[in-house]
Amino acid sequence: MSACTLHAAVPNSEQLLPATTVAYVSIPDPTDLEARIKQTQLGQFAQDPSLKPFVDHLKESIPERLGDIKQRVGVSLEDLQAVAGGELAWGIVARQQGRAASVLLVDTSGKAADRDALIEKLDKYLMGLNSKKSSQEVSGVAITKYDVPPQDADDKARTAAYFIDGDLLCVADNSQAVSELASRLSAAPVDTLRSLEAYTAIMGKCRGESKTPANIRWFIQPFPLVDAMRTIRPRKSDTEDRLEQLRQQGFDAVKGIGGLVQVASTPKYDYVHHTAIYAPPAPGADGGDRYRLAMNIFKTPNRAGLELHNWTPRMIARYSTVNMDLLNAFDNVGSLFDSMIAGYDGAFETAMKRFKEDPFGPRIDFRNEIIASLGTRICAMTDYTLPINTDSERFLVAIEVKPDKEKTLKVALGKYLEKDDYIQKKLEERDIWEFQPEEEEVLDLGSLQDGGLVPQGAVEEETERLLTHSAVCVDDGQLFIASDVEFLRLAFKQAAENESLAGSYDYQAVAAALSSLAPNKECGWSFTRTDEAIRPTYALLRENRLPQGESFFARLLNELLTSPADQKNQLLRKQKLDGSELPSFELARRYFGPAGRIIRADEDGWLMTGVLLNKAEN
């Protein structure tokens, strides 16, 4: 009986990949996924001809962050997608010695001719690198191996390999990894990805919440993944190892993160995801703590009553709220501060002692007068100012204050803030503290205007910008921290129905979707207008100023699009694509629907359920 007959049924990737797989993505049906993505509004937007250079550049950059598979074997994920008649899976497999392996597994059922053409492309590319080609057989499976010589002075000799077994194609940038996978075909391996406790816990929980089959399945082991990536792309410098510090502080209690994604599961839902963080109680934790040291800061019990405040304004880009035991977090953050900020033991305790005893300091008990005065609910919302600039985003944070602690908190905050360039003033008949550096220089724009050097109207705009500062206030059971006074002003009165977030149709649609998808308990939730959230980034992209952007999305795109060489040299990325050809934001925004997410705290971690709605269908 031939090897092809023995292995005619293509094994599921989670049963073939080893337990040392530290990152994993599986697409059960790539053709179906591609069709579904094109049905979504973002998929329709990506098909705009003016976006093609940007989308193509992004497609090249993301895989580069995940093991440089195209550069190392000459085929891209898109090439493999084209030959997939069934599952397409990718994983990073950690190895005891040497570089971690990037592995691609493809069910090529019905695509034999396309698969053979792909192998020709792979062979041509690797032989073009002056590789030495050889063959070997492992457990009846023929493996083709390439020994690739160094390509430049900074390169090292390496290997690549592939095998075809029935309809299964396996390609990897490490020949030993390919040999090990081939040997697993004829065995019944027990050390599989599916055997991992973290993987099974995460997938079981997400499948239990999912209402439709998943189009994407993914999983990572966070700390082992970073270790593996360092074998692929070594650290930029020999500076202190932050990963090891986080391990020592107990954050390695997070054993896995992963989940399921459904694409265009209904006309109303473009994307639905269920994401789990698996962090079971850690062995060796002290006393009644669940984890070791600073990991204990994450105490986020589920809670009822996390509805919107009646002052929440309608036109904001993002809103999020979480229930977190802040006093517990404060009591557990000391060792993290000592390790990662100060660099010596006892630093946090010393700093808190200075707050209380230094005659030139605020003379407050930071823990008992400030932190102990706070409740457990935290709300945060973001917006932006016009015209769009690199720092247009603004924020407002509201932290619950215990009913009998407002006066204590006000007094303590006043002592603290007056030592930190804040001045006390009145706003809407309320006491606030506004940040205003003592040595701030206020430009006399009036004289410049009189001389004809500044256009009419510019004085008012520039003066307003100069006089806008962050502000703090304790009022109506909340501690407010705002990026500017005008944003803070919105929290001082109940919003009319047509001006409140609760009264907006897109918020109501997201809330209804989340109630249907995740009707259980929650420790937090969020709402995002994706069009408004990406507006500053989109404007900078059109103006060819994206590399200077400071928003979350701008930093994320810059990280993805910056080459490893520029990252290593800490160079500011140059925008390679001409954004001026992109559609106007008013045309683009129709493709970006509202989104939301609910977070539930469990005994072994957290579960997040999120949805992105189709704006045209809601």
Q: Are 109 and 101 in contact (CB under 8 A)?
A: no
Please state the rounded mean pLDDT for residues 326-331.
97
Burial 47-56 (b: 16+ CB within 10 A, else e): eeeebeebee
Amino acid at 460: E
CA distance 215 to 12: 15
CA distance 611 to 594: 8
3-state secondary structure of 354: helix
Question: 490 and 529: one domain?
Answer: no
Tell me what pLDDT residue 467 has. 37
Q: What is the DSSP letter of 363?
A: -
pLDDT at residue 401 above 60?
Answer: yes
Tell me what pLDDT residue 578 has. 66
Question: 573 and 583: one domain?
Answer: yes
pLDDT at residue 464 above 80?
Answer: no
Q: Are 553 and 382 in contact (CB under 8 A)?
A: no
Please state the rounded mean pLDDT for residues 47-70.
68
Looking at the domain assignment, is residue 456 inside a domain? yes
Looking at the domain assignment, is residue 228 inside a domain? no
pLDDT in tens, 73-126: 999 878 998 999 999 999 999 998 889 999 999 999 999 999 999 999 999 999
Tell me what pLDDT residue 233 has. 78
Question: 103 and 148: one domain?
Answer: yes
CA distance 210 to 24: 19
H/E/C letters for each residue in 287-336?
Answer: CCCCCCHHHHHCCCCCCCCCCCCCCCECCCCEEEEEECCHHHHHHHCHHH
Confidence of residue 161 (pLDDT cuts 50, 70, 90): very high
CA distance 511 to 527: 8
pLDDT in tens, 166-210: 999 999 999 999 999 999 998 888 999 999 999 999 999 999 999
Tell me what pLDDT residue 236 has. 58
Q: How far is CA 388 from the centre of its chain?
A: 24
Question: 494 and 581: one domain?
Answer: no
Question: 483 and 572: one domain?
Answer: no
Q: How far is CA 64 from the centre of its chain?
A: 17
CA distance 252 to 294: 11
> 460-469: which pairs have CB atoms within 8 A and are 24 or more residues apart?
466/442, 467/442, 469/434, 469/435, 469/436
How big is the CA angle at 115 (ends 173 and 138), to the nearest 5 degrees?
Answer: 50
Percent of the chain at pLDDT > 70 equals 84
pLDDT at residue 440 above 50?
Answer: no
From 465, 487, 503, give the residue that closes a domain: 503
CA distance 99 to 362: 53
Looking at the domain assignment, is residue 462 inside a domain? yes
Residues 6+ apart with CB under 8 A from 371: 326, 327, 330
CA distance 253 to 246: 10
Confidence of residue 390 (pLDDT cuts 50, 70, 90): low
Q: Are 588 and 582 in contact (CB under 8 A)?
A: yes
CA distance 473 to 463: 23
Mean pLDDT of the chain: 87
Looking at the domain assignment, is residue 545 inside a domain? yes
3-state secondary structure of 190: coil
Tell me what pLDDT residue 596 has. 98
Query: Regarding predicted confidence, which is higher, 317 or 67?
Result: 317
Least confident of 28-42, 344-358, 431-445, 549-563: 549-563
Query: Regarding predicted confidence, which is higher, 420 or 505?
Result: 505
From 468, 503, 538, give the residue that closes a domain: 503
Tell me what pLDDT residue 12 has. 94
Q: Dihedral of the CA atoms 394, 342, 345, 359 (nearest 10)?
A: -80
pLDDT at residue 347 above 70?
Answer: yes
Looking at the domain assignment, is residue 230 inside a domain? no
pLDDT at residue 600 above 80?
Answer: yes
CA distance 282 to 298: 13
Looking at the domain assignment, is residue 232 inside a domain? no
What is 511-579 written as a DSSP string? Answer: HHHHHHH--S--SEEEEEEHHHHHHHHHHHHHTT-GGG--SHHHHHHHHHHS-HHHHHTTPPPP--S-G
Confidence of residue 384 (pLDDT cuts 50, 70, 90): confident
88-93/422-427 β-pairing: unpaired
CA distance 546 to 556: 11
Determine the straight-line distance between the first and last CA of the chain, rounded to whole angstroms. Answer: 57
pTM score > 0.75 for this model? yes
The length of the chain is: 618
Domain that holds residue 473: 299-503
Amino acid at 286: D
Choose among 75, 71, 72: nearest CA to 88: 75
CA distance 179 to 93: 13
CA distance 177 to 172: 7
Question: 456 and 572: one domain?
Answer: no
Q: Are 617 and 267 in contact (CB under 8 A)?
A: yes
The number of domains in the chain is 3
Question: 485 and 557: one domain?
Answer: no
pLDDT at residue 331 above 70?
Answer: yes
Tell me what pLDDT residue 9 has. 78
CA distance 60 to 104: 17
**Cβ-based burial of 352 (10 A; exposed 0-12, middle 13-18, buried ≥19):** middle
Question: 88 and 28: one domain?
Answer: yes
Q: Are 377 and 303 in contact (CB under 8 A)?
A: yes
Q: Are 161 and 178 in contact (CB under 8 A)?
A: yes
From 133, 167, 195, give the residue that closes a domain: 195
pLDDT at residue 306 above 90?
Answer: yes
pLDDT at residue 558 above 90?
Answer: no
CA distance 91 to 22: 7
Looking at the domain assignment, is residue 388 inside a domain? yes
Residues 6+ apart with CB under 8 A from 599: 300, 322, 522, 523, 524, 525, 606, 607, 608
Question: 188 and 310: one domain?
Answer: no
Confidence of residue 519 (pLDDT cuts 50, 70, 90): confident
Looking at the domain assignment, is residue 260 inside a domain? no
Question: 463 and 580: one domain?
Answer: no
pLDDT at residue 63 above 70?
Answer: no
Question: 65 and 9: one domain?
Answer: yes
Q: Dihedral of the CA atoms 428, 430, 432, 436 (nearest 10)?
A: 40
Question: 143 and 182: one domain?
Answer: yes
CA distance 439 to 273: 50
Residues 6+ apart with CB under 8 A from 55: 46
pLDDT in tens, 207-234: 999 988 999 999 999 999 999 988 887 7
pLDDT at residue 245 above 70?
Answer: yes
Tell me what pLDDT residue 170 has. 97
Tell me what pLDDT residue 241 has. 83
Computed over its alpha carbons, how large is the radius of gyration of the chain?
Answer: 28
Tell me what pLDDT residue 575 has. 58
